[in-house]
Amino acid sequence: MKKRTADKFWFPWWPDKWIFGSIRIECNPAERGIWVDLLSLASKDNGHIRANEETPYPLDQLAGMLRIPADEFKKAINKFIKNKKLTRTKTGTLYVTKWDKYQFSDRHKRRLEGGMSEKTDTVSEHSDAILYNKKEHNNKLYNKIYELLTNVKGIGKEKATKLVNFIFEKLVIEFKDVDALEQVEKKCAWWLDNPITKKSNIHAQMRNWFKLGQKWIDEAKAQDRVGQGPAKKPKSKEEIECEQFIQAAENKIVKENPGKRDREMRLLILAARAAASREYWRKKGK
């Protein structure tokens, strides 16, 4: 049997993930309490919750050990598995799915154990500070995007959680130059004017939106490499009129919605500007 870390007094705890992560949205307070109990057990066996390598704990036994009603405990376990927080192995053992991802690096462990020089430790502290600031920024951005998505009709909390995770886990990596918040704001405004239906694939639509944004950035970079490019044309009379028409639509929205929050107002303005532009050029026959 694999040796357990029975003398381990603590394990890494990530406050931002706990406060702002998806589990707070997906689970009620009782389920979150059960989750902490499971993490504590998993810390004694590298993410596994089992009697030994071949024998899982019966759920009734686990529930009794943790002093939780069996029905409530089993319901929570099934939910964690469904949401991919837990994985059940072939032997029936429960495993915290992303356990390795949230453990300290070997470098950080050496620092905690006193096996790192003062110079190296200083470098590590600087790196940790940068990483923390980056995580803090990403959490704020995550919450802003989540709030924008939940304001769109047809996207509830569950869909918003899955979509914002898709954006951070896939799109911001694939399309590194794209401003994620800007693209989501524009797409949400587009959805206000083009409502989501049951057949809508919101993940594919969002990816296409990011892809288009990346295409524009790449074209601009290519032009910069060639040189200044052709001289910028002065705006035509129609373009100036269109801008004035759009500005009037924006002013109307602001005047009619004095009590709206900033993000809601921004979505309304983006939708109004897009609709005004289409309306102007439709009247012009273009």
pLDDT at 2: 47
Write out pLDDT tens, residues 22-34: 888 888 999 999 9
Tokens of 109: 């462990």
pLDDT at 246: 80
Helix (H) or strand (E) holding 263: helix 262-283
pLDDT at 37: 92
Domain ranges for the chain = 15-106, 132-226, 245-283
Tokens of 10: 């603590």
Rounded to 5 degrees, φ, ψ at 194 are: -130, 80
Write out pLDDT tens, residues 187-226: 888 887 788 888 889 999 999 989 888 888 887 777 665 5
**Gap between the Cα atoms of 180 and 145, Å rounded:** 8
Tokens of 203: 């993940």
Rounded to 5 degrees, φ, ψ at 56 are: -80, 160
Positive/negative CA dihedral, 51, 55, 60, 61: negative
Residue 76: pLDDT band (50, 70, 90) is very high
Write the DSSP symbol of residue 170: I
Count how many residues are written for the chain.
286
CATH code reported for the domain at 15-106: 1.10.10.10
- pTM for this model (two decimals): 0.40
Half-sphere exposure of 46 (CA within 13 A, CB side): 6
Task: Please enumerate in sequence order all residues whose Cβ is within 8 A of that of 80, keeping only pairs 6 or more positions apart, or say none.
Answer: 31, 35, 38, 86
Write the DSSP symbol of residue 171: I
